Amino acid sequence: MCADRRHLAVLTTGRQDFGILRSPLMLLRKDPRFALSLWVGGMHLNPRFGEPTKLVRDVGIPISREINFLGEPPDETRDYAIAIRELAAALKDQQPDALLLLGDRTETLAAATAALLTRTPVAHLHGGEESEGAIDNACRHAITKLSHLHLVSHEVHASRVIQMGEPPDSVVVVGAAGLDNLSREDLATDSELSKFLGHPLPDPIVLVTMHPTTLGAGSVTETAPVSAAMADVDATYVITAPNSDAGGDEIRKHWLDW
């Protein structure tokens, strides 16, 4: 890396964070002040989750490292331990000036832990937010305490991070990068989406995304009322598959059976 450029490593572990990271990555890639290393791992490398690495390659951002820590089937405790080991190895090998992380997933917490143990500063996007009923909440706040630069989406979230004891001058309100997708001109049209799915899409079209709450009563208990309500409303439903969290397999099986 050039001595006059900051080497920034960025971790993406699936479609859930890449859609938000897309525009920051494209800007960072063009910024002469930074040397960008994009690391992909987790669900990106597992075909069961749609191989979202293709989304990364389509944008044209080179992938500098693939970090495989997600087992099949996924196991939160095992995968978390492997993620710390593999991410720490990547940090020791590439020695970035900082690691940019987004959100609140367990593998993101593993990355922040690896950064702590390798003395790597962390910049964190979307800290200070609240998601009740999910383990994400605890993970997000833990990542905040392990981070050094807090790039939050709203003044309310900035106040919460500061309440947690973080220095006010380390907290910057940058907005929600995912909103940049509203101005994209390369998204699929209805006809292109219909062709991709191999199914007509008459109106009304309803997108259904159900992920495990992780601290709730149970995935099927929570999903069954959703499918029951859908059965009572005549619409075209496009259902996305769940993520790798505990309970995701139950949701996937429920939709396939339904």
pLDDT 10s digits, 11-50: 999 988 999 999 999 999 999 999 999 999 999 998 888 8
The one-letter code for the residue type at 29 is: R
pLDDT 10s digits, 192-212: 999 999 999 999 999 999 888
CB atoms within 10 A of CB 219: 24
pLDDT 10s digits, 76-105: 899 999 999 999 999 999 999 999 999 999
CA 247 vs CA 34, 154, 237, 254: distances in Å: 39, 31, 22, 11
Tell me what pLDDT residue 216 has: 63
Task: Give the SS3 label for residue 200.
Answer: coil
Q: What are phi and psi of 90, to 5 degrees?
A: -65, -40
Q: Is pLDDT above 80 for 126?
A: yes
| Structure-model confidence comparison of residues 149 and 216, the more confident one | 149
pLDDT 10s digits, 139-195: 999 999 999 999 999 999 999 999 999 999 999 999 999 999 999 988 888 899 999
Distance CA 79, CA 74 (A): 7
User: What is the pTM assigned to this prediction?
Assistant: 0.87
Task: Give the SS3 label for residue 99.
Answer: strand
Peptide bond into 32 cis (omega under 30): no
Q: Is pLDDT above 90 for 52?
A: no
Token pair belonging to 25:
């990555």
Tokens 């991709």 found at: 196
- Of 111, 46, 68, nearest to 249 by C-alpha is 46
Distance CA 80, CA 77 (A): 5
Q: 245 near 212, Cβ under 8 Å?
A: yes
